[in-house]
Structure 1
Amino acid sequence: MQCPRGAPAPGSLRGRCKALVPGAGGRYLCPMLATHVHGDATAAPPLLIVHGLFGSARNWGAVARRLSDSRRVVAVDMRNHADSPWTSTHGYPELAADLAEVIEAEGGRADVLGHSMGGKAAMALALTRPGLVDRLIVADIAPVAYDHTQVGLIHAMRGLDLSAIERRGDADRALAASVEDPSTRAFLLQSLDLRSKPHRWRLNLDTLEAEMPRIMDWPEAIDGQFGGPTLVLAGANSTYIRPEHRDRIKALFPAARFAKIPGAGHWLHAEKPREFEAAVRAFLDLAPSPRP
């Protein structure tokens, strides 16, 4: 997004243009995405954290705070999620462009950590704008199309009668009729805003449903390679990264190394946060930055 020099940001961007960076034509770049910043700048590149579908930067608060002891950590709300703007599109080229704006506002380079949908967006960013990415961490996702869908969860959220909800426990009991897994319900309910009147989901359910085929897909038009240090981190109990995906990953990310978190499933950062943090920290501490 471009904002005129000195002008307030439009609409939901107001207040977010504190991190303006010079752009072409005498205009300044204003990142579209809402961010949660932890820690101070150090000699290390900042770490950009990119959440998955139905998530938010807030989901990553504990991990981000702990990792910020040695670097600045910037967690984003992706478009159509939480405090970022709602749009009619939600494909990986657009998500990668959103992330590029944030990194440009942070100085033009960053380490990038993405989970699930956020991992695909991070991979798309690294392949299309490799100069912005120092090191890449992909959490439990591969650059492939998946044959399942999350539309059922959207229908469950949309089917909740929010006017009858007074407490989060009420919402959990009502949602249990269509979402059996308690941890999935707890995750979804983090995006239910009970302070607003009327209550609302902090998710653009209409766009996410319409764009679900693109979210589950991988854009084959994105080609090339990212040669920087790459960690592909999987939950040992998850099936999102399969043995047959390794050749595809190595073709796009030839420096990729693979690791698993024992006892973790797809939400590895929430199920095993300390083990996840240790794996990320070890990679960032040991993998040399490609730039001084």
Structure 2
Amino acid sequence: MRLNVIERRPEGGETGLPVVFLHGLFGRARNLGFLQRQVSRTRRTLALDLRSHGESPHGRLDYPAMVGDVMETLGAYDALPAILIGHSMGGKVAMVMALQHPERVGGLLVGDMAPARTGHGQGVLGEAMLHLHFPPSLDRQEATELLQTIAPRREVRDLILQNLRLGDAPGWEIGLREIVDSMANIENWPYMPEGHVYDGPTLFVRGENSPYVGPEHLAVMGRLFPNYRLETMAGVGHWLHAEDPRRFSELMMTFLAGI
């Protein structure tokens, strides 16, 4: 499946491998625009809408299929090998791609996600979104108030809001049915045969207040990604790049400078 891409290039000459941004569940490529703009000053960058998200085609989600989408899309853009930066679900896509196609990945940065099964209420949120009742017409303020009933946290509500079609006959622009039906796959971690290891430069960045990367995950992180480092961002949760974009950007740029 060919995915929708937002591509940015530096005005001067490009340096190093292209950098690819992969968003999380209910996100889209433009979520990572601040980070993409920082990197695109010196490197070619591509931010992708994963399947059933943003402006990409819809389809059931599982990590091998999503990796296939990314590989097909980047191949069409002549953007391999690449450095992958993924948050949450996008981090899992990036990790699986690095493990399955290590020769195509020049570096890996994972935002608040471990290579493990992770279920922290996203299935409940997806079902609530699916059963949300829309009025005949909806503006942005009304949509914000409506979404408060299922997403009281502002950062989650803002994320969901961008997936709504406003105006007359409002509704979801994303493949919400496909996403909800695939939630077990999204929260799971695919089976990796023995010997799948990515030994390239790897940075995990976790939020101090997030449950997604814990002490119980360190052993498997070390086994699959033997050259990994772990950074913890103080005072933030799972949406660490949105809660403290400047600190996340600092960590990202330092990591890229070392590749």
- Give the deviation of 1:176 after TM superposition: 1.7
Deviations 1:61-103 (A, max 9, x none): 122112211101110000000100001x200001111111233
Match of residue 102 from structure 1 = 73
- Give the deviation of 1:222 after TM superposition: 5.1
Of 122, 147, 150, the match for 1:150? 122
Deviations 1:28-58 (A, max 9, x none): xxxx000011223613111000000000001
In structure 1, give the amino acid aligned to 2:34.
A
State how far apart, in whole Å, the 2-side matches of 1:245 and 1:151 are: 22
Does structure 1 conserve the Cα–Cα contact (< 8 Å) formed by 2:18 and 2:79?
no
Does structure 1 conserve the Cα–Cα contact (< 8 Å) formed by 2:111 and 2:206?
yes
Does structure 2 conserve the Cα–Cα contact (< 8 Å) formed by 1:231 and 1:283?
yes
Match of residue 132 from structure 1 = 104
State how far apart, in whole Å, the 2-side matches of 1:178 and 1:139 are: 25
Of 151, 154, 174, the match for 1:182? 154
Equivalent residues in 2 for 1:225-244, closer than 5 Å: 225-244=197-216
State how far apart, in whole Å, the 2-side matches of 1:97 and 1:149 are: 27
State how far apart, in whole Å, the 2-side matches of 1:264 and 1:190 are: 22
Of 185, 188, 200, the match for 2:171? 200
2:218 partner SS: helix
Match of residue 216 from structure 1 = 187
Match of residue 255 from structure 2 = 283
Supply the RMSD in Å over aligned alpha carbons.
1.6
Does structure 1 conserve the Cα–Cα contact (< 8 Å) formed by 2:202 and 2:228?
yes
State how far apart, in whole Å, the 2-side matches of 1:156 and 1:147 are: 16
Counterparts in 2 of 1:148 and 1:262: CA distance versus 1, 3 Å: closer
2:135 partner SS: helix
1:220 partner SS: coil
Match of residue 26 from structure 1 = none
Equivalent residues in 2 for 1:52-131, closer than 5 Å: 52-87=24-59, 89-104=60-75, 105-131=77-103
Q: Which structure would you say has the larger Rg?
A: 1
Does structure 1 conserve the Cα–Cα contact (< 8 Å) formed by 2:138 and 2:170?
no
State how far apart, in whole Å, the 2-side matches of 1:149 and 1:264 are: 18
Counterparts in 2 of 1:134 and 1:184: CA distance versus 1, 3 Å: same
Select the structure with the greater relative contact order (CA < 8 A; seq sep ≥ 6).
2
Match of residue 35 from structure 1 = 5
- Give the deviation of 1:202 after TM superposition: 2.1
For structure 2, the residue ranges without an aligned partner over 5 or more in a row are: none
Of all paired residues, the percent bearing the same amino acid is: 36
2:52 partner SS: coil
Does structure 2 conserve the Cα–Cα contact (< 8 Å) formed by 1:128 and 1:222?
no
Does structure 2 conserve the Cα–Cα contact (< 8 Å) formed by 1:35 and 1:76?
yes
1:78 partner SS: coil
Deviations 1:210-265 (A, max 9, x none): 11011000012355101100001111221210011111001001001111112221
State how far apart, in whole Å, the 2-side matches of 1:229 and 1:75 are: 20
State how far apart, in whole Å, the 2-side matches of 1:103 and 1:94 are: 14
Mean alpha-carbon deviation: is it higher for 141-150 or for 243-252?
Answer: 141-150
State how far apart, in whole Å, the 1-side matches of 2:193 and 2:243 are: 32
In structure 2, give the amino acid aligned to 1:123.
M
Equivalent residues in 2 for 1:242-253, closer than 5 Å: 242-253=214-225
The alignment covers a number of residue pairs equal to 255
